[in-house]
């Protein structure tokens, strides 16, 4: 988990704000500047370490100033149509509407995300509900071992329960102070910052606790089942 009081994080976030302001007023050289600024961010990130001693930037990654939309079959972005099922190996399955999600104890955290294609964004500000709070409300059964994120059009992503319970794992609805755009999974997505970003399912519809591992969409297509960026677990 990232330390919000880490001065390196504050510096990186300040740089990201500067990049956005500069990009808005410098259209002609925006593409070239973005690569130069990316190099600067990458250099700073490689010099930083996390609280657990690992490098801030995993091997093979390049730091970018903002999140890139990575495609996928978009779900319904309407908050009014949103329903999140929490079910499976739990004592008290339930369903949340978007308004009920907002009424829960939401938090805003600066989180690092790492895409398997080689880019990272450091200190992105996500707002949402800790997944651990939802699972505790549902009452985990002792045999539960994994969490499967369910999303639009049958997309799934699997994570070990131990990873899902980390305090940095969110069911998120805002990015950098604004509602998620459709390209980033509106109205709600999962955020699992310590695993490659495909595990952070967009257009979230369900959280299912299972007793046996169930590889998800990309895992069944040759991607690594664990997806640890610091071990470069990109492909099986």
**CATH code of the domain in which 90 resides:** 3.90.420.10
Domain count, the chain: 1
Pick from 2-16, 132-146, 179-193, 201-215: least confident: 2-16
Q: Which helix (H) or strand (E) holds 155?
A: none
For 24-36, the pLDDT digits (tens) are: 333 333 444 444 5
What would the mean pLDDT of 86-113 be, rounded to a whole number?
97
| Structural domain for 151, as ranges | 57-231
pLDDT score, position 81: 95
* SS3 at position 194: coil
Residue 229 has pLDDT above 60, yes or no: yes
- Rounded distance between C-alpha atoms, residue 172 and residue 149, angstroms: 13
pLDDT score, position 11: 44
Q: For residue 216, is it within any domain? A: yes
Q: For residue 87, is it within any domain? A: yes
211's CB contacts (< 8 A; 6+ apart) are 89, 143, 144, 145, 146
Chain CA centroid to CA 60, Å: 19
Q: For residue 14, is it within any domain? A: no
Q: For residue 37, is it within any domain? A: no
- Rounded distance between C-alpha atoms, residue 3 and residue 103, angstroms: 26
Q: For residue 116, is it within any domain? A: yes
Chain CA centroid to CA 196, Å: 9
Pick from 39-43, 44-48, 111-115, 225-229: least confident: 39-43
Q: For residue 17, is it within any domain? A: no
Whole-model pTM: value is 0.83
pLDDT tier for residue 45 given thresholds of 50, 70 and 90: confident
């Amino acid at each position: 988990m990232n330390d919000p009081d880490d001065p390196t994080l504050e510096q990186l976030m300040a740089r990201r704000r500067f990049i956005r302001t500069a990009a808005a007023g410098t259209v002609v050289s925006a593409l070239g500047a973005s690569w130069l600024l990316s190099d600067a961010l990458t250099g700073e990130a490689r010099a930083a370490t996390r609280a657990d001693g690992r490098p801030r930037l995993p091997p093979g990654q390049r730091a970018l100033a903002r999140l890139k939309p990575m495609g996928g079959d978009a779900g319904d972005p309407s908050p009014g149509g949103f329903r999140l099922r929490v079910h499976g190996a739990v004592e008290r399955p339930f369903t949340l509407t978007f308004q009920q999600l907002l009424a829960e104890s939401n938090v805003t955290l600066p989180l690092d995300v790492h895409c398997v294609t080689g880019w990272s964004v450091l200190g992105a500000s996500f707002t949402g509900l800790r997944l651990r709070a939802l699972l505790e409300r549902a009452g985990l059964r002792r045999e539960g071992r994994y969490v499967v994120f369910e999303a639009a059009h049958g997309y799934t992503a699997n994570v070990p329960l131990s990873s899902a319970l980390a305090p940095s794992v969110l069911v998120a609805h805002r990015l950098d102070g604004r509602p998620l755009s459709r390209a980033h999974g509106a109205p709600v997505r999962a955020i699992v910052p310590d695993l490659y970003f495909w595990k952070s399912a967009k257009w979230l519809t369900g959280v299912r606790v299972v007793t046996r591992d169930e590889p998800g969409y990309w895992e069944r297509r040759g991607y690594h089942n664990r997806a640890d960026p610091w071990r470069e677990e990109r492909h099986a």
